[in-house]
Amino acid sequence: MNKAHNYGTDGHGHDHKAAPMVEEITDFEVLEIAVRELSIEHGLFTAEDHRRFTEFAESIGPAGGSRLVAKIWTDPAFKARAMEDPVKACLEIGIDWSKPTGFGTPSDYTHLTILEDTPMLHHVICCSLCSCYPRPLLGMSPEWYRTTNYRRRLVRWPRQVLAEFGLILPPEVEIRVEDSNQKCRFIVLPLRPSGTENWTEEKLAEIVTRDCMIGVALPEPGRTADVHPVVKARRPVHHEEAAR
């Protein structure tokens, strides 16, 4: 029995006292709580405002981005408008970058650049400094996007990182990493895959998943969700045995 872990008194670890439920939070989270509570105290916004905005931000999801890409694929006139002024074009698909505050959010700003892939050029986005992400179009970023593992290695070893997502591109295709570090937000416009001729905009939107717009996957008929296979450990550690 490993007494250092205080697992219990019966020798089987069943009668142990529950560990205190303390969530670890970072210095930045402490800072956020402090600034938020001060803001509420000083009347800049209310707790209700904050709750509503948080729920709004968490409810967005990537469907807006999917509609944007599908409309660009099917409507050349819209594509021209979107490449010229992406934020304005987003209004046509029901995405208003200025909402809900009237001027965007401090981290989203209202600048958008659409990165158009070609057969010889593939884009992929990251934010090596933090977590910049086109949230009005894609919602909250996935957990892995914010990890230092992804954002550091994508800048330096993009092909290896893409391979881990199952995306292997030939050397002659230029991979262009866009490190979002200022006020522009970026979305990848992937190539429309073959086999989708005569598809409706709605059907096309289904295969434009979040990962395709980040650039870590390519759209393909039949692929309508970002599912990463779970690789099970071949020799899992048995903690009961290890503790003996």
Site string for another protein, 34-73 (x = CB under 8 A): ----------------------------------------
- Whether 132 sits among the annotated catalytic residues: the reply is yes
Phi, psi torsion values for 210, nearest 5 degrees: -50, -50
Among 180, 187, 204, 214, binds another protein (CB under 8 A): 180
How far apart are alpha carbons 8 and 6 in whole angstroms? 6
DSSP conformation letters of 45-113: S-HHHHHHHHHHHHH--THHHHHHHHHHHH-HHHHHHHHH-HHHHHHHTT--TTTTTSS--TTTTTEEE
Q: Which of 131, 141, 194, 212 is catalytic?
A: 131
Query: Residue 171 has what DSSP assignment?
Result: T
Among 36, 153, 159, 223, binds another protein (CB under 8 A): 159
Measured from the CB atom, the residue of 155 and 191 that comes closer to another protein is 155
- Whether 90 sits among the annotated catalytic residues: the reply is no
Q: Is 88 in the site for another protein (CB under 8 A)?
A: yes
Q: Is 219 in the site for another protein (CB under 8 A)?
A: no
How far apart are alpha carbons 7 and 78 in whole angstroms? 63
Q: Is 5 in the site for another protein (CB under 8 A)?
A: no
Residues in a beta bridge with 174: 121
Among 97, 133, 145, 150, binds another protein (CB under 8 A): 97
Q: Which of 66, 90, 126, 132 is catalytic?
A: 132
| Cis peptide, bond prior to residue 100, ω within 30 of zero | yes
Tell me which residues touch another protein (CB under 8 A).
85, 87-88, 91, 97-98, 102-104, 109-111, 113, 128-129, 155-156, 158-159, 171-184
